[in-house]
């Protein structure tokens, strides 16, 4: 049984209010933008995601990042999980990501997390992004019980939850 309805079509372009940024599914070809974004914010991202995901490691190489993006691209095509890049209008800078995953822990039907690069912390772009993601999930995704990791529940509380029966 799939975690999404068979007829679900994932969004391919999601504008951020203000018109200067948008979300779209990440691609392997985004590695030249993704790698500097991730590594430039690595310490803060590790503090967020490291205990749960072991990412991003201090030793993450460009090639390993490109391989990760290729895997994400395949998972998106197969509707196994979704990684959306936050990009500027011209797609010359990757400024963050949203992850939409099947639940690993009991009590949710989708698990969502997101981040922005260090330069955007406490900015109007981050504020618009933080407002957009839950609204977008509610409007365009078929979840009845989405869980917002690091937002509606702390990562440490999430790690303490029992595993989802299908995980």
pLDDT for the residue numbered 148: 97
**Mean per-residue pLDDT, 26-43:** 98
Report pTM.
0.96
pLDDT for the residue numbered 165: 87
Q: Is the pLDDT of residue 46 over 80?
A: yes
pLDDT for the residue numbered 19: 78
Q: Is the pLDDT of residue 1 over 90?
A: no
In the chain the domains, ranked by start, together with CATH numbers, are 14-159 (3.40.630.30)
pLDDT for the residue numbered 29: 98
**Mean per-residue pLDDT, 45-63:** 95
Inter-residue contact 159 to 51 (CB < 8 Å): yes
pLDDT, tens only, 93-140: 999 999 999 999 999 999 999 999 999 999 999 999 999 999 999 999
- What share of the chain in percent tops pLDDT 90? 95
Ranges of beta strands (E only) in the chain are 14-15, 21-25, 82-88, 94-101, 110-116, 146-148
**Mean per-residue pLDDT, 28-37:** 98
pLDDT for the residue numbered 124: 95
Inter-residue contact 78 to 4 (CB < 8 Å): no
Question: Which DSSP letter does residue 106 get?
Answer: T
Q: Is the pLDDT of residue 166 over 70?
A: yes
């Amino acid at each position: 049984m799939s975690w999404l309805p068979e007829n679900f079509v994932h969004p391919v372009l999601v504008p951020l209010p203000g018109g200067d940024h948008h979300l779209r599914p990440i691609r392997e070809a985004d590695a030249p933008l993704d790698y500097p974004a991730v590594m430039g914010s690595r310490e803060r991202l590790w503090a967020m995601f490291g205990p749960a995901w072991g990412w991003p490691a201090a030793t993450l190489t460009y090639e390993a990042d490109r391989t990760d993006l290729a895997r994400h691209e395949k998972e998106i095509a197969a509707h196994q999980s979704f990684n959306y890049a936050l990009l500027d209008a011209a797609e010359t800078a990757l400024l963050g990501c949203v992850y939409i995953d099947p639940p690993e822990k009991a009590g949710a039907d989708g698990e969502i997390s997101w981040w922005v690069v260090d330069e955007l912390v406490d900015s109007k772009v981050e504020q618009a992004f933080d407002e957009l993601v839950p609204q977008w999930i509610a409007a365009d995704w078929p979840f009845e019980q989405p869980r917002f990791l690091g937002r509606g529940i702390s990562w440490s509380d999430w790690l303490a939850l029992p595993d989802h029966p299908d995980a």
